[in-house]
Structure 1
Amino acid sequence: MRNSRLATSPTVPAAPAVPWLRLLTPSAAQHSLVPASSGAQYARVVGEVGTDAAQWAVEVGLEVAERVAAEIPGHIAEGGLDVLRMGTESTTIQLLLLLSGAEVEGPATSEALGGIPDFVRRRVSLDELLRGIQLGHSVIAGAFLAECARLGDPEQRHEQMRTLSQRMFAFFDAFSTQMASSYREEEARWVKSDAASRLAVVEDLLRGHDQPLAVVSRRLRYDLARSHVALVVWSSARTLDADQTALYEAARDLVRHSGAEQSLVLAVNLGMVWAWATPRSTPEEFVDRLASMTLPADTHAVIGGTGRGLAGFRASHDDALAAFGLRSSSTSTASVTPYRDLDLISLLLADRDRAIRFARAELGPLAATDPAAADLRRTVAAYLDLGGSPQAAAQRLSVSRNTVTYRVRRAEELLGRPLSERRQHLQAALAIVAETESLG
């Protein structure tokens, strides 16, 4: 697309629509909000209208993303608010640039267009996409018009409102047209792709629809009658630079270097890949080998248990999804995590609210959120894990033996009973609190 004021809408005037753009300021609570869109675009808008106005656009972009995610859930995949926010923020900034008189390539930025493949892969319809765009545009327009009423010269406010509305209408119309066109092109590519066909077959199997294994295995080029270990690989990067191709390659390399006899790797949605592999060695050795590997920065994986046949294919995937649910929301920096490291806590947290109520009731004052209580819980957990040895617990925690003895005694005082009483309940409660703390 050639460089222009707004290439898809050449009738939009070039002069700034309003004189008060540099007076825009974010709320005090969001003044230091970190931008989600590209650094180059943010730096450009800072140069055109100043940092305060740029941060105002960042705040509006976040508000739009939160509104769209809440009212039209199909617009967001698991953990995908940052991806949605990149599009809404960059769109707000693009409009701000246009209104300032700056030249823009077109209404839809690379961040906005970059989310289209994810919508198509997740089967979000074009109607749903356009509904989200319409909602987002109404929020953006409302924000600009409110600022015009607040900051505009009373004598010129009516004309400024009219000009602003005309410009925004032209921008939003061109934006919707470009996004719809991009969606249709991507959808046509996806429907024809082999990846779409294989993913559709797998999703059908995971929903419990049984099919002849020999037929499905041929379509997937993966023998479902054998043993399986499932993986979920995902990116925690905040930008679209962590592209799906790089993530897919990382997942494929992980499985390939594990020495698997066969593998199935599928890109599912933006920032996530599913995989299955048949171990060449024993399942334990295979999982150990996978767990010892290192993935690229901002890339993580979890490994399900081992199963055989179609039931094992599904069960291992369920395990991997459960592990993903825990690890993707935690502060863990682990590159590859086996489900066996999370199986107990995953079961304990299957009903999260009940689990937290149980832990608080079991621990009583020991469940307090202050640092002293946290130190007591870590000490008690280590002490119980190590068979009640103060010396071993002291070595693990890098504290003195006397410190462990004191903390154990203090914990018993808070609990009102010896640690040996209801020991299994106590260990379960400690594990629940430790995990929910890491999840935030």
Structure 2
Amino acid sequence: MPESRVPEAVTVGGETRTAPGAPRPSTTSAGPFVTTATLQRAASSVLQDVDGLAESVILAITAPLPELVQDPRTAEVFRSTVLDNVVTALRALSTHRETEEFTAPPVALEFARRLAQQGVPITTMLRGYRLGQAAFQQRIIARIAAQDVAASEVADAAMALSSFAFSFIDRVSEQAVTAYLMERDTWMRHRNAVRLARVQALLDGRNSDPGELEAVTGFPSALPMVGVVVWCGRETGESDRLGVLERHLGRLASALDTGSRPALSVAPDDSTLWTWMPCSAVDPVSVADAMGEAPGGVRTTVGEPGTGLDGFRLSHRQARQAQTIALAADPAHARPLLAWSQLGPLALVGAEVGELRAWVQLVLGGLADDDEHCARMRETLWAYLSSGHSLNTAAAALHLHKNTIQYRIRKAEEARGRPLAEGRIDVEVALLACLLLGSTVLRPVVTPRV
């Protein structure tokens, strides 16, 4: 390759000029791109063997990403996508067509839609575009280097090629991503609507075929399963609420140790998932500990494991019942995970929160006041009653002296207005309601004006 520089014809924005000694043309990533005569010649020569280049690009993509071509029909669309993109790019380089005019070939959009339907991650599709870009550039650079031109001209052509390839792939892949996301949204909504209708028919009793249950859930009806409701609020954002919930369900599956067995999930709305997971036992405390902190606004309720159609329906009703209680709690008592087994007698009255509030205040009397003083007495009383009336156990749980426990119990009885022995079971249920719902069932304390 000669060492002296030969004046290069440079095309910028459609204008061709020769400028001996002029600075090298700069490249841009969008808009009118900069090319050189050397790059144009290389692109024109490669265009004569476009099938060979397309094959090398296809191999560079499919070798590390075989999931893109597992389906024979999709593989055919993929080959057409690569060929159309390669031809479009080479023609643009050899004729200096502006990148602003580029649109993804229709077959490329069809390929993106097929990947969305098959559940291939969008990141895999984008990696395929990057691998294809690298293989394309390598072949063109090899053809540039084979020309009898100065090293500086090779560098100019390589820089122009890099800028063009980035701009081209950026525009084409952006359109492919749009097609992918639109198709995924449409496909998921359609698939969810069909599956939700089948699930609703099972829940409502319109279909009682055990075979349909197995077909919908994907696991044997004799296998114990647990119903789950997971939802989020506005603070989670609107862009991908269901995606956030699905990822959270993955953490729940790990905490329940469901292994590789699949779960059934349907979305009754854009911020709620009803789910059934294979599971034989639920320890809500250990599950909550294993899951750790939930994403902002995400909450979960869990029913009891059951089998068959009856278990499928009952566990779901239990999770929905627990959700009613969870939604009734004040923000300070909002739990990221609440199991139906934790509701106790509240499960029988959970749907009537207004009546429950009145009943709690009637049972507890002045002890139902929503202030710190009464809160300490309720905490002490709950520790005492739930420990089987053991002063020592309650004292150890609260890290207090036994005498302090006795003193608070006496004050709690005074606040209530009658002894604990009078309606003791009612007191325990009312205290459980306070523990789970907080201010929702308590009597507001009005601070007198000074």
Give the secondary structure class of the aligned counterpart of 1:346: helix
Distance in 2 of aligned mates of 1:312 and 1:341: 18
Shift, 1:229, TM fit:
0.6
Give the secondary structure class of the aligned counterpart of 2:263: strand
Give the secondary structure class of the aligned counterpart of 2:306: strand
Give the 3 Å change call, closer, same or farther, for CA 268–295 of structure 1 in structure 2: farther
* 1:274-319 Cα deviation digits (max 9, x unpaired): 111222xx42579955763236422332211111111110100001
Distance in 1 of aligned mates of 2:327 and 2:371: 25
Distance in 2 of aligned mates of 1:191 and 1:407: 57
1:267 aligned onto 2:267? yes
Q: Which residue of 2 aligns with 1:327?
A: 326
Distance in 2 of aligned mates of 1:436 and 1:295: 20
1:297 aligned residue (283, 295, 298): 295
1:234 aligned onto 2:234? no
Q: Which residue of 2 aligns with 1:118?
A: none
User: Size of the alignment, in residue pairs?
Assistant: 254
> For the Cα contact (< 8 Å) 1:264–1:277, is it kept in 2?
yes
Q: Which residue of 1 aligns with 2:315?
A: 316
Alignment of 1:404-415 (within 5 A): 404-415=405-416
Shift, 1:198, TM fit:
0.9
Shift, 1:220, TM fit:
4.8
Larger Rg: 2
Q: Which residue of 1 aligns with 2:252?
A: 254
Q: Which residue of 2 aligns with 1:245?
A: 243
Distance in 1 of aligned mates of 2:288 and 2:437: 26
Residue type of the alignment partner of 2:326: R
1:193 aligned onto 2:190? yes
Give the 3 Å change call, closer, same or farther, for CA 246–259 of structure 1 in structure 2: same
> For the Cα contact (< 8 Å) 2:328–2:353, is it kept in 1?
no
> For the Cα contact (< 8 Å) 1:366–1:414, is it kept in 2?
yes
Give the secondary structure class of the aligned counterpart of 2:292: coil
Moved more, 221-230 or 315-324: 221-230
Residue type of the alignment partner of 1:307: G
TM-score, length basis structure 1:
0.50
Give the 3 Å change call, closer, same or farther, for CA 228–394 of structure 1 in structure 2: same
Residue type of the alignment partner of 1:368: D
Distance in 2 of aligned mates of 1:286 and 1:427: 21
Give the secondary structure class of the aligned counterpart of 1:292: helix
> For the Cα contact (< 8 Å) 2:384–2:390, is it kept in 1?
yes
Moved more, 317-326 or 334-343: 334-343
Distance in 1 of aligned mates of 2:308 and 2:408: 50
Distance in 2 of aligned mates of 1:431 and 1:289: 21
1:276 aligned onto 2:276? yes
Give the secondary structure class of the aligned counterpart of 1:382: helix
Residue type of the alignment partner of 1:196: A
> For the Cα contact (< 8 Å) 1:304–1:316, is it kept in 2?
yes
Distance in 1 of aligned mates of 2:336 and 2:347: 19
Distance in 2 of aligned mates of 1:219 and 1:376: 50
Q: Which residue of 1 aligns with 2:205?
A: 208
Alignment of 1:17-416 (within 5 A): 189=186, 193-236=190-233, 238=235, 239-241=237-239, 243-255=241-253, 258-260=257-259, 261-279=261-279, 282-284=280-282, 289=287, 292-294=290-292, 296-298=294-296, 299-330=298-329, 331=331, 332=333, 334-416=335-417
* 1:220-265 Cα deviation digits (max 9, x unpaired): 5344453221111222451224522232233245326622544212
Distance in 2 of aligned mates of 1:296 and 1:363: 33
TM-score, length basis structure 2:
0.49
Residue type of the alignment partner of 2:343: L
Distance in 2 of aligned mates of 1:427 and 1:192: 46
Residue type of the alignment partner of 1:244: L
> For the Cα contact (< 8 Å) 2:226–2:277, is it kept in 1?
yes
Distance in 2 of aligned mates of 1:245 and 1:297: 12
Distance in 2 of aligned mates of 1:431 and 1:247: 29
Distance in 2 of aligned mates of 1:286 and 1:323: 13
Distance in 1 of aligned mates of 2:356 and 2:389: 25
Give the 3 Å change call, closer, same or farther, for CA 371–351 of structure 1 in structure 2: same
Residue type of the alignment partner of 1:213: P
Distance in 1 of aligned mates of 2:201 and 2:262: 21
Gap regions ≥5 residues in structure 2: 1-181, 442-450
Q: Which residue of 2 aligns with 1:16?
A: none
Distance in 1 of aligned mates of 2:426 and 2:283: 32
Give the secondary structure class of the aligned counterpart of 1:229: strand
Shift, 1:388, TM fit:
2.6
Distance in 2 of aligned mates of 1:285 and 1:407: 31
- CA RMSD between the two structures: 3.2
> For the Cα contact (< 8 Å) 1:301–1:337, is it kept in 2?
yes
Give the secondary structure class of the aligned counterpart of 1:193: helix
> For the Cα contact (< 8 Å) 1:229–1:313, is it kept in 2?
yes
Residue type of the alignment partner of 1:313: F
Shift, 1:400, TM fit:
3.8
Residue type of the alignment partner of 2:315: S
Shift, 1:266, TM fit:
2.2
Residue type of the alignment partner of 1:418: P
Distance in 1 of aligned mates of 2:285 and 2:314: 16
Residue type of the alignment partner of 2:290: S
Residue type of the alignment partner of 1:221: G
Give the secondary structure class of the aligned counterpart of 1:273: strand
Distance in 2 of aligned mates of 1:278 and 1:286: 16
Distance in 1 of aligned mates of 2:189 and 2:424: 58
Give the secondary structure class of the aligned counterpart of 1:302: strand
Give the 3 Å change call, closer, same or farther, for CA 208–235 of structure 1 in structure 2: same
Q: Percent sequence identity over matched residues? A: 28
Give the secondary structure class of the aligned counterpart of 2:304: strand
Distance in 2 of aligned mates of 1:242 and 1:329: 26
Give the 3 Å change call, closer, same or farther, for CA 396–247 of structure 1 in structure 2: same
